[in-house]
Structures are given as C-alpha cells and as structure tokens.
Amino acid sequence: MAPVILFLLSSLFAQSLFLKVEPEKPHNSHITVMGIVYCDICSNNTFSRNSYFLPGVEVNIECKFQAISPRTTEQISFSVTRTTDKFGVYKLEIPSVEGIECASDSAIESSCQASLMWSSSSSCNVPGHKTTTDEIAIKSKQANVCIYSLNALNYRPSERDTALCGN
C-alpha cells in the first residue's frame, strides 16, 4: 500500500510543477463620490438641533479624474444627477477605473462639484449652500478604494422661524 501512496504523492507533485502560477492582477480602483443635503431651519448655514436631512433632493455631480502616471494619461469626466435617499445622502459609485490606482498618493488628480437642482420639500426649498467643491478624500491602498465626501448642501425655509431660532 505504501508504494501506491508514494506514487499518488509523486504524481500530484509532478502535476503541480506544470501548473502555471499567474501573478495577482492589481485591483481596479473603486471610486465613490457622496454628500448630504439638509434643511437649515434657522438659515445660518450650519446643521443645528432644528435641522433635518432632506430626502428626494436632486443634486448634479460633475467630476473630473485625471490619471497622473507615466503609463497612462487617461481622464474621466462626467456630469450626473442623483437623488438623496431617506437620510439626505446622494452617492455616485464608479465601480472600476482600469489602470488607475486612486489610493496612491499621487496617482490621480480629482475635482468634483455638487450643485442643488430641486428640493422635494415645499416648506424647505430656498437654496442656502447650493454648490460645493470642497471635499474630504478617504483612501484605502489595500482595497484601492477612494471615497470623496463633498461638503454638505442645504435648503432653508422661505421664512425664518424665530420661535425656534431666535432673532
């Protein structure tokens, strides 16, 4: 019985010598652009205890991603409209950008702008902060994931509630 086991083991070993080992392919980057929209009840451009997030708001997102790499000069530009969810969050997911490692410090140069288009609330529909280009970039080199979080946008009511907000 030992010769049979020895034969099987040597066969498996021989077959493994002929298997091709392919190097792991680099992960394509995954980019997310997101932000929030809220109702600024007190019309002071800050999120206060009386503020609330606005669902159903249409936001236009315009972005440009330029690869900074000797091997590619690709550029991606787009303009899309997204609607906020029940938490006032709008999000655009760009699932794969071949050849661009967004998490590398200098691999990609980006610029994004979000602009309010339409409020779903009749009681909070006067634009406050209506456009933003300021962003916080969160990058994970291990997963090649980048999240670009844009500053908050807001609407406010047509009249300020002095009972809630004071003068």
CATH assignment at residue 122: 2.60.40
Residue 38 lies in a domain: yes
**29-72, pLDDT tens digit by residue?**
778 899 999 999 999 888 989 999 999 999 999 988 776 666 66
E strand or H helix at 113, and its extent?
A: strand 108-118
Separation of alpha carbons 35 and 83, rounded Å:
11
Residues of the chain with pLDDT > 70, as a percent, come to 69
Query: Residue 103: what pLDDT?
Result: 64
Residue 82 lies in a domain: yes
Q: How many domains in the chain?
A: 1
Residue 18 lies in a domain: no
Residue 16 lies in a domain: no
E strand or H helix at 66, and its extent?
A: strand 58-67
Rounded to two decimals, what is the model's pTM? 0.75
Residue 140 lies in a domain: yes
State which residues form the domain around 150.
25-156
Rg of the chain, C-alpha, whole Å: 25
How many degrees, rounded to 5, is the angle at CA 105 between CA 102 and CA 107? 50
Whether residue 162 has pLDDT greater than 80: yes
Whether residue 131 has pLDDT greater than 50: yes
Query: Residue 161: what pLDDT?
Result: 83
Residue 122 lies in a domain: yes
Residue 15 lies in a domain: no
Cβ pair 28, 96 in contact under 8 A: yes
Average pLDDT, the chain: 79
Q: Which residue has the tokens 């409209």?
A: 81
